[in-house]
Structure 1
Amino acid sequence: MKKKTVGRWVLLVVIACFLLVQISAPAMAAAPYQTGTEGPGGMIVGTQTAYEPDGMIRLDVNQPADLFHDEPTGKLYIADPGNARIVVYEENNAPQTIGEDVLSNPSGVYVAADRLVYVADYGLKQIVVFDEQGKLVKQFGRPEEPIYGEKNDFAPKKVAVDKRGNIYVISEGSINGVVQLNNEGQFLGYVGANRTSLSMKMLIQRFIFTEGQKAQLFKSTPPSPTSIVLDYQGLLYTVTNGISSDGIKKLNIVGDNILSSNSWTSDSMVDIDVDAGGNIYTVDVNGLICVYDSFGNLLFMFGGGDDKYERQGLFKSASAIDVTDSGRTLYVADKERNVINRYSITPFGTKVYEGVDQYKQGLYVQSEDIWKEILKMNSYFILSYNSLAESYFKQNQNGKALESFRMAEDKEGYSDAFWKIRNDWLQQNINVVVYTVFAIIVASYVIRTLHRRYRVLQPFVRLRNRLAEIKLVKEIGFMFYFLKHPIDAVQELKERKRATVRSATVLYVWLLLLQVILVYAKGYLFASGDPDQMDLLPIMLTTAVPLLFWVVMNYMVSTISDGEGKLSEVYIGTVYALSPYLIFALPIALISNVLTYNEKFVYDYSMMLIQGWSLLLVCIMVKELHDYTFRQTVRNLFLTVFGIVLAALVIFLLVLLFNQEVEFIQTIIQEMRNRA
Structure 2
Amino acid sequence: MKVRSWLIVLAASLLISGFGHNVAHGAPYEGYTYNYWGNSVKSPIAFLPSRVITGNDAGTGAWQSPLDLYAAHNGLLYVLDSGNGRIVVLNDQWETMRVIQHFEHEGKQDSFLNPEGLFVTESGQIYVADTENRRVVELNSDGTFVRAIGAPESDVISDTFEYFPRKVIVDKAGRIYVVGRGVYEGLIEFDSDGRFTGFMGTNRVQFDPVDLFWKSVSTKEQREKMIRFIPLEFNNADIDEGGFIYTTTADKNTASAVKKLNPSGIDVLRVNGEFAPVGDLSINRSSFIDIQVSGNGVYRALDSTRGRVFTYNEDGNLLYVIGQLGNQKGTFKNPVAIESYGDAIYVLDRDLGQITEFKPTTFGGLVNEANRLYSSGKHSEAATLWQEVLRLDANYEMAYVGIGKSMLREGKYKEAMTHLKLGNDREYYSRALAKYRREYMREYFGIYMTVAIGVLVSLITWRRIARSRNERGARDVAN
Where on the TM-score scale, by shorter chain, does this alignment land: which range? 0.7 to 0.9
Q: CA deviation at 1:431?
A: 5.7
Q: How does 1:307-456 map to 2 (within 5 A)?
A: 310-324=327-341, 326=342, 328-427=343-442, 428-429=444-445, 432=448
Q: How does 1:19-98 map to 2 (within 5 A)?
A: 27-59=23-55, 60-72=62-74, 74-90=75-91, 91=93, 93-94=95-96, 96-98=98-100
Specify the alignment match of 1:274 in structure 2.
Answer: 293
Specify the alignment match of 1:303 in structure 2.
Answer: 323
Q: CA deviation at 1:151?
A: 3.5
Q: How does 1:94-173 map to 2 (within 5 A)?
A: 94=96, 96-100=98-102, 101-173=110-182
Gaps of 5+ in 1: 1-22, 451-676
Distance, in Å, in 2 between the alignment partners of 1:385 and 1:149 is 53
Distance, in Å, in 2 between the alignment partners of 1:75 and 1:156 is 24
Q: TM-score, normalised by structure 1?
A: 0.58
Q: How does 1:477-556 map to 2 (within 5 A)?
A: none
Q: Do the aligned residues in 2 keep the contact of 1:38 with 1:299 (CA within 8 Å)?
A: no
Q: How does 1:109-258 map to 2 (within 5 A)?
A: 109-206=118-215, 209-243=218-252, 244-258=254-268
Specify the alignment match of 2:303 in structure 1.
Answer: 284
3-state DSSP of counterpart to 1:349 = helix
Distance, in Å, in 2 between the alignment partners of 1:120 and 1:62 is 17
Which residue identity does 1:341 align to in structure 2? T
Higher share in helix: 1
RCO comparison, higher one (Cα < 8 Å, 6+) = 2
Q: CA deviation at 1:375?
A: 1.1
Q: CA deviation at 1:163?
A: 1.5
Q: CA deviation at 1:239?
A: 0.7
Distance, in Å, in 1 between the alignment partners of 2:65 and 2:287 is 18
Q: How does 1:486-635 map to 2 (within 5 A)?
A: none
Q: CA deviation at 1:414?
A: 1.7
Distance, in Å, in 2 between the alignment partners of 1:116 and 1:356 is 32
Q: CA deviation at 1:297?
A: 1.4
Q: CA deviation at 1:204?
A: 4.8
Q: TM-score, normalised by structure 2?
A: 0.80
Distance, in Å, in 2 between the alignment partners of 1:199 and 1:104 is 39
Identity of aligned residues (%): 27
Distance, in Å, in 1 between the alignment partners of 2:391 and 2:115 is 47
Q: CA deviation at 1:61?
A: 1.2
Distance, in Å, in 2 between the alignment partners of 1:379 and 1:192 is 40
Please give the root-mean-square deviation of Cα atoms over the aligned residues, in Å.
2.9
Distance, in Å, in 2 between the alignment partners of 1:316 and 1:393 is 46
Q: Do the aligned residues in 2 keep the contact of 1:126 with 1:141 (CA within 8 Å)?
A: yes
Distance, in Å, in 2 between the alignment partners of 1:382 and 1:205 is 45
3-state DSSP of counterpart to 2:398 = helix
Which residue identity does 2:122 align to in structure 1? A
| Structure 1 residues 136 and 360: CA distance shift in structure 2, 3 A | same
Which residue identity does 1:44 align to in structure 2? S
Q: CA deviation at 1:156?
A: 0.3
| Structure 1 residues 147 and 24: CA distance shift in structure 2, 3 A | closer
Specify the alignment match of 2:278 in structure 1.
Answer: 265
Distance, in Å, in 2 between the alignment partners of 1:420 and 1:93 is 57
330-339 or 204-213, larger mean C-alpha shift: 204-213
Specify the alignment match of 2:471 in structure 1.
Answer: none
Specify the alignment match of 1:487 in structure 2.
Answer: none
Higher share in strand: 2
Q: Do the aligned residues in 1 keep the contact of 2:296 with 2:375 (CA within 8 Å)?
A: no
Distance, in Å, in 1 between the alignment partners of 2:330 and 2:225 is 42
Distance, in Å, in 1 between the alignment partners of 2:212 and 2:324 is 35
Structure having the higher Rg:
1
Gaps of 5+ in 2: 1-18, 56-61, 103-109, 280-285, 468-479
Distance, in Å, in 1 between the alignment partners of 2:215 and 2:394 is 48
Q: How does 1:460-471 map to 2 (within 5 A)?
A: none
Q: CA deviation at 1:434?
A: 8.8
Q: Do the aligned residues in 1 keep the contact of 2:21 with 2:362 (CA within 8 Å)?
A: no
